[in-house]
Amino acid sequence: MAVADIAGQSVYYEVTGEGAPVVLLHGGFGSAEAWLAQTPALVEAGFQVWVPERSGHGRSPDVPGPFSYDTMAEQTAAFLDAVVNARAHLVGWSDGAVVGALVARHRPELVDRLVLIGQYFDSSGEIEGGLASHLADFREAPPAFLSEGYARISPDGADHFPVVFNKSIEMVLTWTGLPLAELAKIGAPTLVLQGDRDEVRLEHSAAVATAIPDARLAVLPGTHALPLESPHVVNPLLIDFLRGGPAGFDWMS
């Protein structure tokens, strides 16, 4: 557990293990705890696991101004430069997948392999009636399970959660997306992974995997919480891919 100064902003992170670096990027309202089902397995497999918490998430304090995926990606790239200080595998889940894709697109020298879990990259990829479409309904009363989790670990305190919640909603609702033509510029070998009952249309993930030149698609039984629901299936797949395998389910033999 440590804190890094990234462009004057305090970024909390955890690092465990030895080996090739893997950086796990949490989703919206998430923290390092989102990866508790993956970190030990990756460490045991011989990776060094880094889990940063973006500004306004987990134990990293919020900073003035709106949230944006571009700003989050810039902070993540700076963290890779200054703290990890090595070419790394990126594994992004939900919002973290957008961040990972942006880093891989704009700073390819920092990324070895890329995993994108449970995320659409334009509005056409969102399932009808998905979680994002209901976020605005909670502006005045954020869900208790989110506010309680935030209050437990945030240095900004419980009273600041409505600010972070509304900044997150505004970012999601105003994001114009990442066109497939931009995703096509990602050069890192990529695994696109989602649950069959995820927040993403299967057709969209297939289009993303087709657009990225060196990408594979895996669809597993599960929801948007796939890494937490089914680590016994997700973890071997991640390990096989990050070790250089084709993510072709060879690990099942």
| The three-state (H, E, C) secondary structure of the chain, written as one string | CEEEEECCEEEEEEEECCCEEEEEECCCCCCHHHHCCCHHHHHHCCEEEEEECCCCCCCCCCCCCCCCHHHHHHHHHHHHHHHHCCCEEEEEECHHHHHHHHHHHHCHHHEEEEEEECCCCCHHHECCCCHHHHHHHHCCCCCHHHHHHHHHHCCCCHHHHHHHHHHHHHHHHHCCCCCHHHHCCCCCCEEEEEECCCCECHHHHHHHHHHCCCEEEEEECCCCCHHHHCHHHHHHHHHHHHCCCCCCCHHHC
Enter the pTM of the model. Answer: 0.95
Tens of pLDDT, residue by residue over 135-151, are 778 777 888 889 999 99
Tens of pLDDT, residue by residue over 187-237, are 999 999 999 999 999 999 999 999 999 999 999 999 999 999 999 999 999
Class of domain 2-244: alpha beta
The domain spans of the chain are 2-244
What one-letter code names the amino acid at 65?
G
Q: Which residues are within 8 A (CB) of 192 and not within 5 positions of it... i.e. 6 or more apart? A: 116, 205, 208, 209, 212, 215, 216, 217, 218
Which pLDDT score is estimated for 246?
Answer: 62
